[in-house]
Amino acid sequence: MNIPMLLQRPHQHFLKGLVRTPFRCYRFIFHPSPHLGSGVPCAQLLSSPGLHCAKWMLPSNGLTRKLCLQTTLEEHTEGLSDKEQRLVDKLYAGLIQGQRACLAEAITLVESTHSRKKELAQVLLQKVLAHHREQENLNKGKPLAFRVGLSGPPGAGKSTFIEYFGKMLTERGHKLSVLAVDPSSCTSGGSLLGDKTRMTELSRDMNAYIRPSPTRGTLGGVTRTTNEAILLCEGGGYDVILVETVGVGQSEFAVADMVDMFILLLPPAGGDELQVIRISARSGEGITEMWDKMKEFQEVMLVSGELAAKRQKQQKVWMWNLIQENVIEHFRTHPAVREQIPLLEKRVLSGALSPGLAADLLLKAFKSRHE
């Protein structure tokens, strides 16, 4: 029995129907409600770390009852060895205490393509997400960090700007995290990872954390784990997150779905007075004014409620992005498809088969194995 069907049942049949559901690890706590009358059962909303709540309205006998399903982390941690559990606990404890080594190791874990490590990364991320929600509640619902995207053509001075800008922020008491993505070679797969080398002063600042990451062929350098790295940095106490993209043009669309504000850095003579606040990272001209404008923008977004709405929409977008990525990977590695890909690609390259027909044949092979 599925949940929607279950919720249509009267209350006296609710627990009996629940036993037949395929779901596990749910907690139901009923207590008298002062709003609905003495003795009326409704769900108690728990605030323990690692619990996720889904609410439904359950009409019964003319009354409305709230059902809160509490899914614990037991489902995610099931099957972890003692060594794996100790690793996750160590990374989580060190991360929220602000230990840079644990943050670096945690980001390495979420960047891993190893299937088991990806599972461990999700367990860690769920714990950090629960901690993140608690901290935001303590902050009266306000975001813990200002997420800023930065892009620009090669040679525009992105690294020079970030170093001057970052030093100014840390001197004002902020903790800055820079997620700098360097392009990978299409031929060798290697990356220069030069941003950290260029930011010599900022890289030595204990209130700044610079994470260079190779693109590994991802368009624009925005990897699938960049969004998760942002969450880890915020869990580590960094209140300004800078995501630097490669600046090839397409990456701006991807990074816009993970930051609050996007900055385009152009060399002299680029743009006009309507677009560009003039700044100089060498003399410091305009840097303070730029930060004031950024804070003003953040405050307007926060007061209007647009910032919260934007972040919610971004999470939905990234959920579907990850689903799309994993569905395509599943499709490509499916036995019925994998066997035919080389042959069909060869026929497409020779002109014997149109790309559309080849795609239809692969999809038909995939669907036939699932019907």
- Predicted confidence at residue 85, as pLDDT, reads 92
Dihedral (Cα; 47, 34, 64, 312), 10-degree rounding? -30
- Predicted confidence at residue 195, as pLDDT, reads 61
d(CA 52, CA 43): 13
- Predicted confidence at residue 60, as pLDDT, reads 41
- Predicted confidence at residue 282, as pLDDT, reads 86
Token readout for 162 is: 């970030």
Q: What string of DSSP letters covers 151-208?
A: E--TTS-HHHHHHHHHHHHHHTT--EEEEEEEPBPTTT--B---HHHH-HHHHT-TTE
Q: Note whether 69 and 28 are within 8 A (CB).
A: yes
Rounded to whole angstroms, the maximal C-alpha distance in the chain is 77
pTM over 0.75: no
- Predicted confidence at residue 77, as pLDDT, reads 60
- Predicted confidence at residue 212, as pLDDT, reads 80
Please name the residues in contact with 17: beta carbons below 8 A apart, sequence gap of 6 or more: 1, 6, 9
Q: Note whether 161 and 267 are within 8 A (CB).
A: no
Length reported for the chain: 371
- Predicted confidence at residue 44, as pLDDT, reads 40
**Residue 136: how many CB atoms within 10 A of its CB?**
14
Q: pLDDT tens per residue, the chain (371 residues)?
A: 444 433 443 444 444 444 344 434 444 343 434 443 333 334 343 444 444 444 434 444 443 333 443 444 555 566 788 899 999 999 999 999 999 999 999 999 998 888 899 899 999 999 999 999 999 999 888 898 999 999 888 788 888 899 999 999 999 999 999 998 766 554 555 555 456 667 888 888 999 999 887 665 555 445 667 889 999 999 999 999 999 876 655 556 777 788 999 998 888 877 666 667 888 888 889 999 999 999 999 999 999 999 989 998 988 888 888 888 788 888 988 888 988 999 999 999 999 999 999 999 999 988 887 66
According to DSSP H, which parts of the chain are helical?
3-7, 14-19, 74-77, 82-96, 100-111, 115-138, 158-171, 195-198, 200-203, 226-235, 251-255, 287-304, 306-333, 335-338, 341-350, 355-368
Q: Note whether 190 and 184 are within 8 A (CB).
A: yes
Local structure of 39: helix, strand or coil: strand
Residue whose pair of structure tokens reads 């080389």 in the numeric block:
342
Phi, psi (deg, nearest 5) at residue 141:
80, 0
- Predicted confidence at residue 53, as pLDDT, reads 42
Q: What's the CA angle centered on 305, arms 302 and 306, to 5 degrees?
A: 85
Cβ-based burial of 297 (10 A; exposed 0-12, middle 13-18, buried ≥19): middle
Q: What is the pLDDT of residues 329-369, one digit of tens each?
A: 889 888 889 889 999 999 999 999 999 999 999 999 888 87
Token readout for 66 is: 């709230």
d(CA 281, CA 279): 7
